[in-house]
Amino acid sequence: MDATLRAPATVLLAAGLYTNFFACVVVYTRRDATVIRLCAAITLAILTEFLHDSGNHMLSPLQQRVFGPMLWHNYLSLVELILFSRADRSELGDPSNSPPGPVPGAWLQALALIFNPRRVGTKWEVKGIPKRSKPQGRFSFAFRSVLKALLASTIIDAILRLPPKPEPHLLEPGKETLYAFWTLSSEDIIFRFMVTLMFTIITCLTVICMYYFAAALTVAIGLNKPESWPPIFGSLRNAYTIRGLWNRTWHQVLRRVVVAFGDFTSDNILCIPRGSILSRLSRLFFPFFMSGTLHYIMELKDDGLAQGRFGVLVFFLLQPLGILLEEVVHYTCSGLFPRTIQRTIGYIWVGTWFWWSMAGFCFEQSRTDPPPDLAPIPFVLMAKRSLLFLNRSP
């Protein structure tokens, strides 16, 4: 087979094995079959790595940076369903319908779970998901989702291409310091704010791009309904605290996963009694630790960042400290100011916190040269390669 066609064929094979194996486990494995489910999780990890490596042969460096973390996040989501939620055939579909449906229908519902990490419309639905204002038809939703994905991808490409590169002295080691602020000039402080802001915007646009691309694809082929894809981000009205930003404004794609693994670590590994202060702290710390570790591993694998750069891990580990700090302040200062002033101070606090805690993560990425192909939507690169293949001389 021609190399141009071999890579897509391998990806389709890997994706078929990955998705159908999960569906097989959910439909045919009993809830109490712990050993079988554990072996299934290990097998699914092997299939995930196969799909990851296969996909990397078709994607640009930037697309690999998006594809890798999303795929392994999805794997952890499926492991949560297999090992912690113990999803089986009897629980698929509408939570109000207890009798299990026929196998073909249950199989499709299990496949739909793969593309529904927030568990919308199921008994495991994540809290705090924004609701869609009005229902949409399948075609209308898919069309609008494609437009949103293309627009987000175009904006990302423009942001990364148009501005001139910053002067080297602005990105020197030490500019992302967490404590030596006296070494920063006013120019450094402003540039640090701009780097953090642009990195946040690009991250949000990348999430939007991939989310609505997946939404358009799964709804168009009938695997999901438009109702399964509510807005990816919540309202900024909740972002006046760090906890509110992470719990309400930021996407909740990983919430079910990190909470389940955090609870398991606290309850079953450390055996910390529920209700204690230590239990509460562990449930706050472990989800961020898990997310930071996964991001760090993916950076080493796909971003090419040198070992010893721990900016992303430090960023995630600082978030529980920020939440604890603001809870102490809220407890001691509650009622001192009107609600409007409290929220205004809160927004300033959150912005300052991320300016401080996110700098190491952002500067490490900014020091890496942008890849030549900046469009994060996989089908953009696939379309280019398809055109090259069709235009080749016989």
Looking at residue 391, its pLDDT comes to 52
pLDDT reported for residue 376: 55
pLDDT level of residue 394 (50, 70, 90 thresholds):
very low
202, 247, 221: which is closest to 115 by C-alpha? 221
Longest dimension (CA), the chain: 78
Tell me the Cα Rg of the chain: 22
pLDDT for 62: 63
Per-residue pLDDT at 40: 95
Which pLDDT score is estimated for 379? 46
Q: Which residues contact 144 (CB under 8 A, 6 or more apart)?
A: 136
Per-residue pLDDT at 375 exceeds 70:
no
Residues 6+ apart with CB under 8 A from 40: 21, 25, 29, 82
In this prediction, residue 371 has a pLDDT band, given cuts at 50, 70 and 90, of low
Find the mean pLDDT for residues 275-284.
87
Domain that holds residue 41: 1-126
- Whether pLDDT at 385 is above 80: no
Please, which contacts does 186-189 make with residues 24 or more away whose CB atoms are closer than 8 Å?
none
pLDDT at 244 over 80: yes
Q: Residue 108 has what pLDDT?
A: 87
Flag whether pLDDT at 20 surpasses 50.
yes
Residue 227 resides in a domain: no
Question: Which run of H or of E encompasses 378?
Answer: helix 378-390
Per-residue confidence (pLDDT) for residue 102, from 0 to 100: 63
Question: Once rounded to an integer, what is the mean pLDDT over residues 319-343?
Answer: 88
pLDDT: which is higher, 64 or 199: 199
- Give the mean model confidence (pLDDT) for residues 57-80: 79
**In-domain check, residue 64:** yes
> In this structure, is residue 310 part of a structural domain?
no
Tell me what pLDDT residue 119 has.
86
Is residue 13 a part of any domain in this protein?
Answer: yes
- pLDDT at residue 350, rounded to an integer: 95
Report which of 149, 141, 144, 129 is spatially closest to residue 206, judged by C-alpha positions. Answer: 149
| Lowest-confidence segment of 60-74, 175-189, 341-355, 371-385 by average pLDDT | 371-385
In this predicted structure, what is the pLDDT of residue 57?
75
Q: What is the pLDDT of residue 19?
A: 93
**How confident is the model at residue 393, as a pLDDT?**
43
CA distances from 233 to 6, 115, 230, 252 (A): 37, 17, 9, 8
The domain total for the chain is 1
Tens digits of residue pLDDT in 121-132: 888 888 878 776
Residue 347 scores a pLDDT above 80: yes
- Whole-number Å distance between alpha carbons of 114 and 220: 16
Asked if residue 370 is part of any domain, the answer here is no
Asked, for residue 1, whether it belongs to a domain, the answer is yes
Is it the case that residue 389 has pLDDT exceeding 60?
no
Which residue shows structure tokens 């402080």? Answer: 189
Q: How far apart are CA 249 and CA 214, in angstroms?
A: 21
337 within a domain of the structure (yes/no): no
Helix, coil or strand: residue 366 = helix
End-to-end C-alpha distance for the chain, whole angstroms: 16
The reply to whether 326 falls in a domain is no
Number of alpha helices (DSSP H) and beta strands (DSSP E) in the chain: 13, 0
- Least confident piece of the model among 130-144, 215-229, 299-313: 299-313
Task: Write the burial class of residue 392 (CB in 10 Å: 0-12 exposed, 13-18 middle, 19+ buried).
Answer: exposed
pLDDT, position 296: 80
Report the mean per-residue pLDDT for the chain.
82
Amino acid at 263: D
Lowest mean pLDDT among 44-58, 99-113, 184-198, 275-289: 99-113
**Cα dihedral across residues 64, 65, 67, 69: positive or negative:** positive
Choice between 358 and 305, residue whose per-residue pLDDT is larger: 358
Q: Does 377 score more than 70 pLDDT?
A: no
Say how far apart CA 178 and CA 271 lie, in whole Å: 34
The per-residue pLDDT for range 216-242, each reduced to its tens digit, is: 998 998 888 888 898 999 888 999 999
In angstroms, the CA 186 to CA 178 distance is 16
Q: Using CA atoms, how far apart are residues 261 and 286, in angstroms rounded to an integer?
A: 8
pLDDT of residue 308: 52
Q: What is the pLDDT of residues 97-120, one digit of tens each?
A: 445 556 678 888 899 899 888 888
Query: What tokens were used for 72?
Result: 């392994």
Are 37 and 82 within 8 A, CB to CB?
Answer: yes
For 48-61, the pLDDT digits (tens) are 999 988 887 777 66
Cβ burial of 371 (10 Å; 0-12, 13-18, 19+) is middle
Q: Provide DSSP, 117-172.
A: TT-TTSTTPPTTPPPPSS---HHHHHHHHHHHHHHHHHHHHHHHHSSPPPPGGGGS
